[in-house]
Each structure stands twice: as C-alpha cells, then as structure tokens.
A and B are shown apart, each in its own frame.
Chain A
Amino acid sequence: MDDTLMDRLRASVSRYGPLSLFLIPTLAIYLFFAIYPTLSVIGYSMTKWNGISPEKTWVGFANYTKMFSDRIFWEAFQNTFVWSAVIVVINVGLGLVIAALLSRVWRGRLILQTLIVLPVVISPMAVATIWRWMLQPKGVINETLTSIGLDGLARPWLGDPDVVLFALAFAHSWSTIGLSVIIFLAGLQSVDEDLYDAAKIDGATTFQAFRYVTIPALRPVTAVVFILTLTAAFKAFDLIWATTKGGPIRFSEILSTYMYKRGALENQYGYGSAIGVALLVIVSLATLLYLKLQARPEDR
C-alpha cells in the first residue's frame, strides 16, 4: 500500500514537477499582483472605504449612481474623448503620411526614421518637463511665434482653458507618433507592388495612387494603429499629471487624473475605484477589438 502510494506520488511529481517549476512562479506573481487587484477594483467600487480603516461599507451601486450624476466625472469623460480624438487624428493621419513619405526615400532614410521615432523611447515624465518648459508663457514656442511676427498666436499654452488640452495632446503625439510610423511602414512593405504598376499604367498620379491603392490596402493596419493610439491615450496619466495635474481648474482633467485625485489623494477608494472600472471597461473593449483585428490574418 505504501509502495503504491509512493509510486503514485513519484509518478505525479515526475508528471507535474517540471510543469509546476515552469508555471508556478509566474502564476503566483501574475495572479496576486494583476488578476487579484483587477477583481478587487470591481469589489472596491461597491464599497465606501477610505483605504486605511478596517471598516469597509458595502454600498452596492451607489458609487456608480454618484458617478453618473457627477458633473466633474462627465467633464473628465468629455476631456478624455477630446484628448484621445486629437491624438488619434494626429497619430493616424500624420503617422500615415510620414510613413508613406519615408517609404519613398532610400538614401538617408535610416537617419530620418531614427530622428522621427526617437521620442518614442523618452519617458512621459521627461516629455512633460520638456514641453512644460517650451509651452510656458515666455517659452520657446511663444518666442518663435513672436520672432516670425505671429504675436497674436502666442499665449500661456498650459494656462489657457481653451487650448491646454490640445497643447498637451500635441505633446503626447510628439512622443508617440513614431510608433504609428513604425507600424505603418511595416504595413507599407506588404502592399503589392503590382498594384502601383497597374495604377501607373492607368495613368494615375502619385497622389491618386496613394488615395486609391495605398489607403485601401492599409485599412487593416490603420485599424490597428487607430485602436493602439486610442487605448494608449485613454490610459495616459504621467504626462498630464507632471504638467498641469488636470488644471487650470479642470480644463485638462481626464479620467485617470480624476481617479487618482479622488482615490489616492482624497482617500475615496470606493468612488475612485468606480472611475477605475469605467476606465477598465472602455480600455478592455477597445483592446478586445484590437485582438480580434490582429487575429484575422491568421484565420484566412
């Protein structure tokens, strides 16, 4: 009896031993520090809790009803969409144009590409100091505008309610557009050369070829860039926090900064978590769409 028990034990060790060696360290870390907090954020969002006291009161959906009638939440929500829309338009539109131009250059292409993509690796915190300095009232942007006679356009970019969100979106795009360029370039390499030859024979101009051959052929890649840019914009926090902290007043407040203020600074863990769940739902849906788009080529 002991023998068979030992045998079975030995058999199961040799069966599952290596497997657990390979999986358990990762699973332990992943489940505890990623999955558990994700489930907790949903749990927290249904409580009233200051984050410290042992007393955590169950409130059901009260935080959500509060959220939906919170004017500041909707302002942040709207700002998040405006901020994301500006970034998407720049990164998809300009990103495609830059990639298309780069694909037509041979000599000097690597250096041009390197300079354009380089800001991608710079930390959002460093991007924040660079742009805060350039956008200040006496900063280099206003200095340049004044020196070329466009004084009328000069303004305190980060202090002006009408432009602050756009100025920050522009800084975000500066530091992320390189990623769009890289992905578009990869896409452009896979466009069938014969299509261009056919277009040329039909007498199409370069612009027409771009409009009627390149753009349709790049539709799947464009969708990928679109969603990646969108989710990255939705998740952003560092750049805005390090420049305006959502200000002036709330003119650059987005969901992530509002959540941080309510949750981490004002210790409203329940309410902050409800905002977190809103963010989670939006980003998850967009990522799910992305994964579906990515999976498609393999299905064919």
Chain B
Amino acid sequence: MASRLIVFGILALIAFLMTAPSAMTLFTSLKPPEELILPAWTPPASITFEHFERVWTDGGFRRYFLNTILISAVDAIVMIGLASMTAYAMVFMSFRGKLALQVLFVVGLMIPVTAIILPLYTTIRSVGLINTHLGVIFADLALAMPVFVFMFSSYFVSIPRALHEAARIDGATEFQIYRRVVMPVSVPAIITTGLLEFMWSWNDLLLRLLLLPREGMRTLSVGLLNFQGQQTRDIAGISAGTVIMAIPVVLLFLFFQRHFVRGMTAGAVK
C-alpha cells in the first residue's frame, strides 16, 4: 500500500514537472502587464486577453493561423484519399511491379526531410511553387506518403477478403468497392491518418521556412520564429503566440488521445 503511494507520488511529481513549462507559458500569456514582473510560476491574479488580441491583429497571427489551418486541413484530407487509394491497390488489386512499388515506399520511409531540403527547394522552384501553399502541400504529401500507405495497408489486410469478393461478384467496380465497402469499415485508420498528418503539417518549421518566405504566406511556425526574433522583450506576446500555435493540436490530442497514441506508435518512423 505504501509502495503504491510512493509510485503515485513520484509520477505526480514527474507529471507536474512535465506540465510546468506549458502551464507557465499559458499563465504568462494571460497576465496583465503589471503582473508580468512576478515570478513565472505564479498564476495570473486577473486574466487579460490583450496579448492575444495584440499578436492576433498587429502581430499578424490571424493570417498565420489561417494559412496554417488551410495547409494542414488540405494535407490531412488529401492524404487520407491518396494514401488509402494507393494502399487499396496494393492490397486488393494484382498487378506487375507491386513488389517494386513496396520497395519504393520503404525507401521513402528512410528519407529524412532534413537531408533533402536543398533539392526539394529547387524542385519546387522549378515548377514555380515557391511562396505558394500548394508547393508546401505537395512536399508534405510526398514526404509523409509512405508512412500512411503502410498504415492503411496494414489496416486493409485485416479486412476479410470475403467482403471484397462478394462486392466484386455483385458487379461493383473497384472504385465502388473502395468507396462503399472498404472505406466505411476503415474509420479508425482514416481518423489516425488525418490527425497525424494534420499535426505534422501544423508543427513543421523547416519546410515552411524555406518554401514560404513571403510575409503573407507564412504559417504559425515561421510567424512565431520571426515574432520571437523581432519582439524579443515582448515575453507575454511571444507566450500568446506560442499558446495560439499549441492549443489546436493539444485540444485534438485531448479529444482523440486513443487514436493519436495508436498512430504515433505505428507511424513513429517519420
């Protein structure tokens, strides 16, 4: 009994320390100016949203937020469509070169984005997509594709073959089977893919730094980097920007924790 209490106590301490950095940032973002001189760990005595309003309108975070949500949402939706269709072909259709295709995707799993950003930049420039959201979207899709193709494949493999055969005997086309039979029973894989791709896209800095240099195109990551560099003394503003960047994915995590946990364990290679 005592040992159980000790274990709980240690874990509570660890959880407290793990939460403290985020909590203090949230506190700072909500403190009125006169409270900012108090130690960071003191919760705000009265709450103000002035720092949020300031970075949202004057700091340009409104635009950054909209840009980020647009890219991340398109990434997530298109990724669900493309990865599932590719996995469908690889699991349910027979064709020559399937093994080669699998190898090609395994190779993709091993490519670190960091290592190829220079040619990625020139490739996207060569098709005129620098400073366009489309360029970033293509890059995101291409680089994370293998992870989700394998995620859908491993899910599809567990779908009973009989289901697919029955639909084919009824005269359904491949697309109809994909749309009406396979996808409706693959909701967990769809949710996991959407959440993970949305989060990766939301959180990335490197690609966006390189591909979206123009102010109006910036995402939250690039906007926050710039804001932090220019307004070094505005701790409350930087904290508010940080909270704006973190809140959406934190909320998604709290609502869909089970899916996140499963996806992150499976897609951990990226």
Contacts and interface: CB of A to CB of B under 8 A. Distances in A.
Interface in B127-184: 138-139, 141-143, 145-146, 149, 173-175, 178
A25 B149 CA distance: 13
B191 interface: no
Interface in A260-300: 260, 263-264, 269, 272-273, 276-277, 279-280, 283-284, 287-288, 290-291
Contacts of B40: 134, 139-140, 143
B3 interface: yes
8 contacts: A18-B175, A26-B83, A34-B142, A121-B253, A121-B260, A143-B40, A238-B206, A287-B110
Given A18-B174, A112-B15, A125-B203, 5 more contacts: A23-B89, A32-B142, A34-B111, A51-B121, A238-B205
A125 B205 contact: yes
A59 B229 CA distance: 38
A29 B139 CA distance: 8
Query: Which of A19, A108, A121, A122 has the largest count of B CB atoms less than 10 A from its CB?
Result: A121
Interface string A17-32: 0110111011101101
A148 interface: no
A18 B173 CA distance: 8
A228 B82 contact: no
A268 B132 CA distance: 24
B225 interface: yes
A130 B246 CA distance: 11
Contacts of A22: 85-86, 88-89, 93, 174, 178
A43 B18 CA distance: 44
B245 interface: yes
Contacts of B105: 30
Interface in B223-270: 224-225, 228, 235, 238-239, 241-242, 245-246, 249-250, 252-254, 257, 260-261, 264-265, 268-269
Contacts of B109: 287, 291
Given A21-B175, A126-B224, A182-B264, A33 B118 contact: no
A35 B19 contact: no
Given A29-B141, A112-B11, A287-B109, A280 B115 contact: yes
Question: Which 8 residue pairs of A and B lie closest in terms of their CB atoms, listed nearest first?
Answer: A33-B142, A40-B119, A123-B203, A34-B142, A22-B89, A37-B119, A280-B115, A238-B205
Question: Which of B11, B104, B124, B257 has most chain A Cβ within 10 Å?
Answer: B11
Nearest to A171: B21
A48 interface: no
B15 A116 contact: yes
A129 interface: yes
Interface string A87-104: 000000000001001101
B186 interface: no
Given A37-B123, A234-B112, A276 B93 contact: no
Nearest to B83: A26
Contacts of B235: 133
Interface of A: 16, 18-19, 21-23, 25-27, 29-30, 32-38, 40-41, 43-44, 51, 98, 101-102, 104-105, 108, 111-112, 114-126, 128-134, 139-140, 143-144, 174, 179, 182-183, 186, 206, 228, 231, 234-238, 241-242, 256, 259-260, 263-264, 269, 272-273, 276-277, 279-280, 283-284, 287-288, 290-291
A83 to B, nearest CB: 14
Nearest to A143: B39
A288 B82 contact: no
A123 B245 contact: yes
A29 B261 CA distance: 28
Contact of A119 (B4, B18, B241): B18
Contacts of B70: none
Contacts of B261: 117, 182
Interface string B1-39: 001100110111011101101101100100000000001
Contacts of A131: 21
Given A126-B242, A132-B228, A26 B116 contact: no
Contacts of A16: 95
B206 A29 contact: no
A272 B116 CA distance: 10
A19 B93 contact: yes
B122 A51 contact: yes
A126 B10 contact: no
Given A37-B119, A140-B40, A283 B112 contact: yes
Interface string B96-110: 000001001111111
A120 B18 CA distance: 11
Contact of B205 (A111, A123, A277): A123
B73 interface: no
